Chain A
Amino acid sequence: MDPSLTLNPLLLVSGLLFAIGLTGVLARRNLLIIFMCLELMLAAGNLTLVAFSRFHLVDGAPAYDAHVFVFFVITVAAAEVAVGLAIIIALFRSKKSTDVTEVTTMKY
């Protein structure tokens, strides 16, 4: 592993990814885009976990415990994609649009 690689750039990239994802979720109108941005946020979380795990040394060797969590997150994300896409398709069938601002009937 390249010894010049430090924790900070990794965290920076992860933070950027998270910020971009969050902005997308909050600002974009297309449900598909929002969905993709959500995936970005998950990826940012995964990156943080992996990075911390790599730089956490136990007896001079990195601890890989967090990798387990990453696998879990990926699995759950896959399931979430299946459900989420199904919902989006169902919504599109009834509304003929994927604009999130038009889906406001679930209030009071």
Chain B
Amino acid sequence: MNPDTLAWLILLLPLLSAATIVVGIGRWSNLSALVSTGTAFLSLVFSVMLATNGEAVASIAYPWIDLSPSFQVNIGFTLDKLAIGMILIVSSIGFLVHLFSLGYMREDSGKSRYFAGLSLFLFSMSGIVLADNFVMMFIFWELVGVSSYILIGHWYEKNSAAEAGKKAFLVNRIGDFGFMTGILLVWILTGSIYFKEIAQAVGGVANAGLLNAAVLCVFAGAVGKSAQVPLHVWLPDAMEGPTPVSALIHAATMVAAGVYMLARVSFLVDASAVAGTTIAWVGAITALLAALMALQQDDIKRILAYSTLSQLGYMVMAQGLGSAGADAGMFHLYTHAFFKALLFLGSGAVIYACHHEQDIWRMGGLRKRMPITFWTFALGTAALIAVPFTSGFWSKEAILEALLQQKMHGPYAVGIIVAFLTPFYMTRLVLVAFFGPSRTKEAEHAREVEPVMWIPLALLAIMAVFSAYRFLAAPLAAAGHADFGHLFSHFGLTAVLSLIGLVVGVAGAWFLYRTAQKDPISIPLFRDKFRIDELYLFFVDKIQDGLARGLTRLDRDVIDPLIARFPAALSLAGGSVSRALQTGNVQTYAFFFGLGVVALLYFVL
């Protein structure tokens, strides 16, 4: 099949599946699950076919808004290496998550709705990845937000889930507003919304200040979607959704959309040094804060959520370098997608086995009872904490190297500090949840999950370890895939520092948590997530609501009397004066009528 057909099929099949489930077969939940998983599999097959076909130029574009010659929006595709690599990540993890969900959601009453949501998400995400212009990307960007909202709030009868869905949606709106403004600014500056044309036109933009503003506005979209500080607050709460959703949307793909978008427009970042530095610093701050918060969390999914934030911080740091770091960032996105999806699905298996227990202090001893889950989880952890020769090691190294080469010493230092923290909190998680004695009855009775759940874990574990090597990374074809020569060619400060970080972090956690029955250290500031949620709540509660109250008073006490009640009183007074003329007596009327006739005659004659 030619690449155009493949791209259309990848985009539209999941939509077809979602529509079929919602309109037709929603009543038969097992059929819905099969249809959804089947289309996910077909998407994967077509993606692989697209990848083996190699880079291509899409020729079929569907004209959507045509105001030519000034403005024209097409639904068209980009089929370069970046897009093909990303679509491969999305469809492969999407398929594995579908598979895992068949087991995880077996007993769920809203199974059809859940699978329709997954299909809708796959459709929207493919749209973002394949888009060849900003407007199309923005539309799918919003669609991704909607499907994320549907899936976070899947258990909507639980208040916290409904609230988390709303929070994710609203916080994302802030970023999306910036994104929209950025798109408009870029359009004003370069006269185009197509990535290719913008890339050519951006060199000729004279107004550097406005260009900086435009790039930062576009970046705001990534801040929202990829949950960077200060809009990171929605992601930990999004863990209220079913765990496979957390793996697919809130770890591997959707949150990476911001990073992908930045890589897609890396030429814009190149053109604006100020924006690039800002982006790198935002990424660094996110990586550090999130790692600190992860140190003190007790909920297994929340620890993983904060580690996701932290890793996204790494990727955004790399994107701040522009095209010099875009490949490294995408490389980390690629490896991270696999090992983080693995960790989330592994945590899902643990939660499932422990009857929906998420507190790691109420687990323990799961290593012997769930060996497959434990070993795959351990491999995912190894990749995340950058044990040498696992995929995470190469990609993190690539980012830090790129930062060092581009003389971004501040973010580089932060990146190294985070490399000390990550092994610490991940070792803590593994030790507390999997080692030692079982602390509750649920953990004691935990049994290994069924094959439909552990097969995806095993596949992902293979990817977590080997995805950085050339035979698996070739489709992505980004710079810096690992081979054994790579380590020695770059063996220097970065490798030494991150190895020290790994050893210190693991050893520290081992020493503190080997036999701990409860957390030996307590840092309330980290556990309370730096009280950023409370700060926002304060702003909304006191300042925004206070302002609203003030404005209400202004409206009621100043504006209402001035423009509504005063004119009303005036016309009322006028009315009561002229009412006196209406006596109701026919003869009075006749008299005025006569007077009128006389006056008329006087003036006319």
A107's partner among B582, B587, B590, B591 (CB-CB below 8 A) is B582
Among B579, B587, B591, which residue has the most Cβ atoms of chain A within 10 A?
A: B587
Q: Tell me the smallest distance from the CB of A78 to a CB of chain B, in Å.
A: 22
Say whether B24 faces chain A, with CB atoms less than 8 Å apart. no
For residues 558 through 586 of chain B, which have their beta carbon under 8 Å from a beta carbon of chain A? Answer: 579, 582-586
Say whether B596 faces chain A, with CB atoms less than 8 Å apart. no
Say whether B594 faces chain A, with CB atoms less than 8 Å apart. yes
**Which residues of B have CB within 8 Å of A25?**
587, 590
**Which residues of A have CB within 8 Å of B590?**
25-26
Q: Is the CB of A104 within 8 A of B585?
A: yes
Say whether A101 faces chain B, with CB atoms less than 8 Å apart. yes
**Which residues of A have CB within 8 Å of B584?**
103-107
* Complex alpha-carbon distance, A108 and B581, angstroms: 10
**Which residues of B have CB within 8 Å of A36?**
none
* Complex alpha-carbon distance, A100 and B589, angstroms: 12
Q: Is the CB of B594 within 8 A of A104?
A: no
* Complex alpha-carbon distance, A25 and B590, angstroms: 8
Q: Tell me the smallest distance from the CB of B398 to a CB of chain A, in Å.
A: 87
Q: Tell me the smallest distance from the CB of B583 to a CB of chain A, in Å.
A: 6
Q: Is the CB of A103 within 8 A of B586?
A: yes
For residues 57 through 108 of chain A, which have their beta carbon under 8 Å from a beta carbon of chain B? Answer: 100-101, 103-108
Q: Is the CB of B585 within 8 A of A100?
A: yes
**Which residues of B have CB within 8 Å of A32?**
none
Q: Is the CB of A108 within 8 A of B579?
A: yes
Q: Tell me the smallest distance from the CB of B96 to a CB of chain A, in Å.
A: 80
For residues 82 through 115 of chain B, which have their beta carbon under 8 Å from a beta carbon of chain A? Answer: none
**Which residues of B have CB within 8 Å of A47?**
none
* Complex alpha-carbon distance, A106 and B591, angstroms: 17
A22-B594, A26-B591, A26-B594 given; A100·B582 CB < 8 A: no
* Complex alpha-carbon distance, A100 and B585, angstroms: 7
Closest chain A residue to B576, Cβ basis: A108
A26's partner among B579, B582, B583, B587 (CB-CB below 8 A) is B587
**Which residues of B have CB within 8 Å of A104?**
583-585
Q: Interface 1/0s, chain A 12-47, versus B by CB < 8 A? A: 000000000010011100000010000000000000
Q: Is the CB of A100 within 8 A of B583?
A: no
Q: Tell me the smallest distance from the CB of A93 to a CB of chain B, in Å.
A: 18
* Complex alpha-carbon distance, A25 and B588, angstroms: 10
**Which residues of A have CB within 8 Å of B585?**
100-101, 104
Q: Tell me the smallest distance from the CB of B212 to a CB of chain A, in Å.
A: 68
A22-B594, A26-B594 given; A107·B586 CB < 8 A: no
**Which residues of B have CB within 8 Å of A100?**
585-587
**Which residues of A have CB within 8 Å of B586?**
100, 103
**Which residues of A have CB within 8 Å of B587?**
25-27, 34, 100-101
**Which residues of B have CB within 8 Å of A107?**
582-584
Closest chain B residue to A38, Cβ basis: B590
Q: Tell me the smallest distance from the CB of A97 to a CB of chain B, in Å.
A: 14
Q: Tell me the smallest distance from the CB of A11 to a CB of chain B, in Å.
A: 16
Q: Tell me the smallest distance from the CB of B259 to a CB of chain A, in Å.
A: 73
* Complex alpha-carbon distance, A26 and B583, angstroms: 14
**Which residues of A have CB within 8 Å of B594?**
22, 26
**Which residues of A have CB within 8 Å of B583?**
104, 107
* Complex alpha-carbon distance, A105 and B594, angstroms: 22
Closest chain A residue to B591, Cβ basis: A26
Q: Tell me the smallest distance from the CB of B416 to a CB of chain A, in Å.
A: 87
Q: Identify 20 residue pairs between A and B in the complex whose beta-carbon atoms are under 8 Å apart, listed by A's number.
A: A22-B594, A25-B587, A26-B590, A26-B591, A27-B587, A100-B585, A100-B586, A100-B587, A101-B585, A101-B587, A103-B586, A104-B583, A104-B584, A104-B585, A105-B584, A106-B584, A107-B582, A107-B583, A107-B584, A108-B579
List residues of A whose CB falls within 8 A of some B CB.
22, 25-27, 34, 100-101, 103-108
List residues of B whose CB falls within 8 A of some A CB.
579, 582-587, 590-591, 594
Beyond A34-B587, A107-B583, A107-B584, list 10 extra A-B contacts (CB 8 Å): A26-B590, A26-B594, A27-B587, A101-B585, A101-B587, A103-B584, A104-B583, A104-B584, A104-B585, A108-B582
